[in-house]
Each structure stands twice: as C-alpha cells, then as structure tokens.
Amino acid sequence: MAEDAEKADVEREEEIPPRKDVSREEKTEAYEGLPKRSYREMLSDPVGLIFNVRMLRRFVQILFIVGINAYFVASLSGGEAFTAFWRNISFIIPALPILSPLQAPAAILAGSFDTFEREFASGFFPFYTLGTMIIVLIVLGRAGCGWMCPFGTLQDFATLPNRKKIRPAPNTETEMRRLKAYIFIIVMFLAVWVGVSKLTGTSAALTAALGPFAEAAFDPFSPAYILFVAFPSIISRGLWPTGLGNLWYVLQWGWFIPQLIFVIVILAISFWFPRAFCRWLCPAGWIYGIFSKDSLIGIGRNPAKCTPDTCNICEVVCPMNIKIRRFPYQHMHSPDCILCLECKSHCPRKAIVIRFS
C-alpha cells in the first residue's frame, strides 16, 4: 500500500517538466528586481502591516497547544473558567487529524491516528473516527497538521531562530519520507494483531510479549505521548527534581530518560531541518496525506504572476520541503502540504493563492 501511494505521487510529479534549481544569488537578484511596495499601498492596508497569515497561524497554534492541554495549564494557573470552556466544547469536537494522545491526563482533544490505533488494538473498527478523519481531510487537507498539531507547533518554534535551513537532495528526501509509511504499516499490523487476539481470547501471551507496545505501538516513540502523557506522569508521581538535593529523582525515571532525549534530539534536528519529524517519521502524517492530497481547499499558483524559471522562494520557505514548482498551477496535489501558507506569505509576486476545487 505504501509503495502504491508513493508510485502514484511520483507519476503525478513526472507529468510536470522539472524546473531548474535557482541559486541563492539568482534568488536574491529576483528579490531585488521586484517593485517595492509604495507607502500608499501600505497606508491603504494598515491592518496588513500588523497582522498577516504567519501571525494568525502562530496565534492559532498557541491557542490549540494551550487549549488541547487546558487541564494542565489550568492546574498551574487555577483557571477553572478556562478549563470549563474547553470541557464544554470538547463534547462537540471529534478527534482531529493531528498527533495528540487520547489518554493524556490534560487533553481536551485527541488525534485521529491516536484514537483509531487504540480502537483497533481493542478489537473495534473505528467507523466514526475514520469517517470524521476522511471528511476533514478531503475538505481542509492537512491544515490540522500546520495549524493545530501541538508537536508540529513546537517544531515550528524550534526552527524560528535559524534562518539557514538545510534542504536534503530530492532523492534523499524521497527515501526519508518512506520511513513514516513503514512505521505506519508496522504500528497498524501490531494494533490489528492485538485486536484480533482479544476477540479470539488469546491476547494474554501476546500482550505480555509486546509490553508497552500492546495498546498503542507508536506511543513509546510518539513525541506527543512523551510530552503530554509520560511527562505529566513524572510530575504527578513526585519525581520531578526541585533542587540539587533531590536531583537523584532522575534516576527513577526509567524509560522516560531515553524518551526525553529522543524528543530533544528531534527538536534539535528541527532547528536545521524544519518539521523533520512530520516529514520523515510521523505515521499519522502518512495516512493523513493519502486522503488530503486531493482536498477541496489547497494551494495553487497564478500563472500570470509566477516566474518558476527564475524564482524558487516558495520552495525555500516551505517547511515540508515540497517542490512546489513541479506541480500544476491549478492545484498542488502534494500529500505533504500542511497548508501552513508560508509560501503565500513569502511570495514576492503574490502568485500563491488558495484554491477551492
């Protein structure tokens, strides 16, 4: 299944003639050759000087990373009204196509992947979760990954201080993206295997053998699970050191130590490779991409304004390292697009547009 999806993506890209790469000097010249925005234009849109798409996305990202973990924030600040607000709306919001653990003690919203992974392992078929996920993805695409996902937000903020990003070669990027497909297949295989064994009454030995991988095989490696489930567990058990006198509490963390190191390494890599986990290791992103690449809302380019032979700014700023110029002008059918609109925000000719098709 992974190979078929990737083969279809490759065939679609091959239909579009490849564009030549633009050097940094050529990109700078393209910037310098653009007409400067006049004071009259700036005064005619004063709100645009203060608010833009990037600022709006940052606001929404912070709102969701705080809102999804409302209980945790409220417990620190004593904001009962804040907690009550999110508790009330949580009953009308289904699982969203993001990476958010269902069993987080502070969670208000859950991710679709995290939910149906556990439902499969429990011996149930997640009709409602999968149906809701597919509807959201075919309409909004992977906007949830770009605007709502908590760990995606942390990666974005880890990338912000560094303006010089590392872009792997296209072949290397393609090979790295296959990892998340393999991870998804392994995780789903284990989940279905455990679910079937529970239905047949033979789950005791298998559950014991798999250990922490029995209920949700990806949780021990999920940064969202580590930060929003394992980390609060350390605090609730009183194992968080408050000074040098009880620093030895760290020795009782067990598996949380390598898990925390893993998350720190991922965030450190994201400093140079934007959204590294999303691009290469997130199994949720792979399954979301299957249904989102032909979404109703997507990115397109205005052929009257776009100059793909002399400008590649949209590709340079894309956190998912998508070769935007290889796709048709009408709609960019990429399973990796998270609709972050960084390309739209940075395009000097305003050639990037939102398409409804």
Measured distance CA(156)–CA(144) in Å, rounded: 14
- Average of pLDDT values for 53-74? 79
- Average of pLDDT values for 277-283? 96
Range with the largest mean pLDDT of 4-18, 42-56, 103-117, 306-320: 306-320
Q: Side-chain half-sphere of 201: how many Cα atoms within 13 Å?
A: 0
Please give the backbone phi and psi of residue 169, each rounded to the nearest 5 degrees, phi first.
-65, 150
State residue 43's pLDDT score: 47
The band of 177, judged by pLDDT with boundaries at 50, 70 and 90, is very high
Which string of DSSP letters, residue by residue, matches 126-175? Answer: -HHHHHHHHHHHHHHTTHHHHHT-HHHHHHHHHHTT--------HHHHHH
> Between residues 44 and 132, which one has the greater pLDDT?
132
The band of 145, judged by pLDDT with boundaries at 50, 70 and 90, is very high
- Average of pLDDT values for 30-52? 49
State residue 272's pLDDT score: 94
User: Model pTM?
Assistant: 0.81
State residue 84's pLDDT score: 64
45: pLDDT strictly greater than 70: no
357: pLDDT strictly greater than 90: no
Average pLDDT value over all residues in the chain? 82
State residue 170's pLDDT score: 87
The band of 301, judged by pLDDT with boundaries at 50, 70 and 90, is very high
Please state, in angstroms and as integers, the Cα–Cα distance from residue 311 to each residue in 50, 83, 162, 228, following that order. 27, 47, 22, 41
What domain count does the chain have?
1
Show the domain range for 140: 2-356
320: pLDDT strictly greater than 60: yes
State residue 64's pLDDT score: 84
- Average of pLDDT values for 327-356? 92
Range with the largest mean pLDDT of 62-71, 206-215, 239-248, 256-265: 256-265
> Between residues 75 and 118, which one has the greater pLDDT?
118
239: pLDDT strictly greater than 90: no
> Between residues 49 and 298, which one has the greater pLDDT?
298
For the segment 199-238, what is each residue's pLDDT rounded down to a tens digit? 999 989 999 999 889 988 999 999 999 998 888 888 878 8
- Average of pLDDT values for 21-28? 46
For the segment 90-126, what is each residue's pLDDT rounded down to a tens digit? 556 678 899 988 777 666 778 899 988 999 999 999 9
Residue 352, Ramachandran bin (φ over 0: left; ψ between -120 and 50: alpha; else beta): beta
> Between residues 307 and 44, which one has the greater pLDDT?
307
Residue 350, Ramachandran bin (φ over 0: left; ψ between -120 and 50: alpha; else beta): left
Name residue 26's amino acid. Answer: E
